[in-house]
Structure 1
Amino acid sequence: MTPAPDHVVIDGTPAHGRYAGRIARIDWAPLRPRPGWLWRRLHHKRWHYVGLGNEAVFIGVAIVDVGWAASAFAYLFDRQTRTLRANWSQDGLPGLQASNGDAPLAGADAWFRGPGARLSLREAGGRLQLQVATRALRVDAELDLAAMAPPLLAVGPIAGGLAHATQKTSALPVRGRAEASGQRFALDGAWAAVDASSGLLARDTAWRWASAHGPEWGFNLQQGYFGEHENVLWLDGQPIELGAAHFGFDAGRPLEPWRVRTECGRLDLSFTPEGVRAADKNFGFAVSRYVQPVGTFAGTVRANAHAAPRNVKDLLGVTEDHRSLW
């Protein structure tokens, strides 16, 4: 993969492509012609998502700005009891109660403040500080950016919108702790992945997604509004482009096994769910429906079509089936 450019817009045009490496900011202001203020307000969507876990727990945290509204969620899934010990979410007003800065990693500053809730993801000294303080869940964790594999930067066109960009990491070492339902969980030894995304998207947006990361390998797959732009495998510390992804699952029974594979033949995995977080919001003018099972992947990955397969087993991660009318 080629090195990441300095900007997502070059000479007024989106720098479409898949790249390896960090970008300082995801800034659409240099687009020419630049969409009008109202269109940008309705179509500009930004979020920071962190998924982290170890043998005991999986934690998912997101701060989302959809232009005319904001939201956040945080959950803790207990892998030993296979229960959601915490499942919190809240809506708010962008700028007043939530913000997602343009910096995806270095300089990241995302936060949400609502009744009884304080969430933030901020970078300082090469580390991302993740803090969650709600009635249901408390998290105080540090994600180390120093030794991470080159992250993915993907930039691509959007049907019904304009363009989208995402910066995604593979496994980041974690230190910290969490508390839910009166029980404390040590997060030292956990691995985390960050998804920092910003796009001028269509009002009706749907996707299927899979993400799992560990010290040996990790991957990110998406089927839907962004095509194959963000499909990548990290192997031996290097990101490798993957082809179009296919998801085999029963939408009515998301706790049944899934199969995820790519047309290039470099990834073929089964996914065994341990539990699921789901949400179904319908405000009439806006809809968000999704399921996000937590579980483990097993199967094979390859560095290229002719390389010997490498066996994957018990790789912790998530899948997702999501549709938003926003």
Structure 2
Amino acid sequence: MTPAPASVVIDGAPAHGRYVGRIAAIDWSGLQPRPGRLWRRLHHKRWHYVGLGNEAVFIGVAIVDVGWAVSAFAYLFDRQTRTLRADWSQDGLPGLQARVGDAPLAGADAWFRGPGARLSLRETGNRLQLQVATRALRVDAELDLAAMAPPLLAVGPIAGGLAHATQKTTALPVRGWAEAAGQRFALDGAWAAVDASNGLLARDTAWRWASAHRPDVGFNLQQGYFGSHENVLWLDGQPTALGTAHFDFDATRPLAPWRLRTDDGLLDLAFTPEGARAADKDLGVAASRYVQPVGTFSGSVRAGPQALARRVDGLLGVTEDHRSRW
């Protein structure tokens, strides 16, 4: 993978490819010809997602702007009791109740405000400040970008849309705390990953996704609307592009074991779910079916076709089966 370009648009066209390194902003305004205002309003989707966890908990937080509506969710999964201690979500009005900025990391600014809820993810001094204040869950955490391993930047075409870009990190050190169901959880020693995505997408979009991270090994896999563009493996902080991902699982039994592999032979992992967050919304003109199991991965990975296989055990992360009409 080559170093990240300065812009996701070069000479009026999307800069398709897989890159290493940060980008200041994901900005599609330079596209030529530029899509019309109404089309952009209906197709421009942006989100910031943070997943973080340790031996005690896994926390997932997202702020999403789909152009004509906004939403957010935050949950805390207790790994000891294998229960969701908190599961909060809310929808809102774009521009009034939420904003997802174009800066993925440095300069990141995403927030949601609704009845009884305040969420934000903001970069200050090379640290991402994650704050959640809802009736179900409170989080005050700091994600350290200073010693971050090289992140992935992926840019690619979208069938039925135009283009998509995503910046994804591997293991970021965490400090802070979370409170749910009357209990406080220390987050010091947890590891986090950030997914900052921004694209001109199709109305119907579906994907399977997996993400798991710690300092020695981390990966991001996607099968669906974005092809293999965002498939990457980090070993000791060094990223390697992965081939097409295959997700073998029973969609009717998401808590049964999964198998994930790539067609280049660099990743072959079993996933054992501990629990899951799920949501199923159908508003007629829009719908979302979503399940995100939390669990651990085990198996083998390798940095290249001729490299020795490295054993992976107990790697905390998530899988996801998601379909949206938006």
TM-score category (smaller protein):
over 0.9
Give the TM-score normalised by structure 2: 1.00
Tell me the residue number matched to 1:22: 22
The aligned runs of 1:46-85 (5 Å cut-off) are 46-85=46-85
1:295 Cα deviation after fit: 0.1
The aligned runs of 1:77-226 (5 Å cut-off) are 77-226=77-226
AA at the equivalent of 1:184: R
Tell me the residue number matched to 1:312: 312
1:94 Cα deviation after fit: 1.1
Question: Is 2:284 aligned against 1:284?
Answer: yes
Give the TM-score normalised by structure 1: 1.00
AA at the equivalent of 2:105: L
AA at the equivalent of 1:142: E
- Cα distance in structure 2, aligned partners of 1:83 and 1:18: 37
AA at the equivalent of 1:84: L
- Cα distance in structure 2, aligned partners of 1:89 and 1:262: 33
SS at structure 2 position matched to 1:229: coil
1:27 Cα deviation after fit: 0.1
Can you list the C-alpha shifts for 1:53-73, whole angstroms capped at 9, x where unaligned? 000000000000000000000
- Cα distance in structure 1, aligned partners of 2:258 and 2:239: 24
Tell me the residue number matched to 1:33: 33
1:306 Cα deviation after fit: 1.2
1:305 Cα deviation after fit: 1.0
- Cα distance in structure 1, aligned partners of 2:237 and 2:193: 14
SS at structure 1 position matched to 2:223: strand
Can you list the C-alpha shifts for 1:149-204, whole angstroms capped at 9, x where unaligned? 10000000000000000000000000000000000000000000000000000000
Tell me the residue number matched to 1:301: 301
Question: Is 2:232 aligned against 1:260?
Answer: no
AA at the equivalent of 2:286: A
1:236 Cα deviation after fit: 1.8
1:25 Cα deviation after fit: 0.3
AA at the equivalent of 1:206: A
1:82 Cα deviation after fit: 0.2
Task: State the aligned residue count.
Answer: 326
- Cα distance in structure 2, aligned partners of 1:44 and 1:288: 17
- Cα distance in structure 2, aligned partners of 1:215 and 1:53: 13
Unaligned runs of at least 5 residues, structure 2 = none
Can you list the C-alpha shifts for 1:103-160, whole angstroms capped at 9, x where unaligned? 0000000000000000000000000000000000000000000001100000000000
The aligned runs of 1:224-263 (5 Å cut-off) are 224-263=224-263
- Cα distance in structure 2, aligned partners of 1:214 and 1:292: 19
- Cα distance in structure 2, aligned partners of 1:122 and 1:113: 14
AA at the equivalent of 1:112: F
AA at the equivalent of 2:295: G
> What RMSD over aligned residues (CA atoms) do the two structures have, in Å?
0.3
SS at structure 2 position matched to 1:192: strand
SS at structure 2 position matched to 1:60: strand
- Cα distance in structure 2, aligned partners of 1:228 and 1:62: 23
1:275 Cα deviation after fit: 0.2
- Cα distance in structure 2, aligned partners of 1:219 and 1:163: 23
- Cα distance in structure 2, aligned partners of 1:16 and 1:114: 36
- Cα distance in structure 2, aligned partners of 1:32 and 1:253: 45
- Cα distance in structure 1, aligned partners of 2:153 and 2:82: 34
AA at the equivalent of 2:122: R
1:239 Cα deviation after fit: 0.8
- Cα distance in structure 1, aligned partners of 2:214 and 2:145: 14
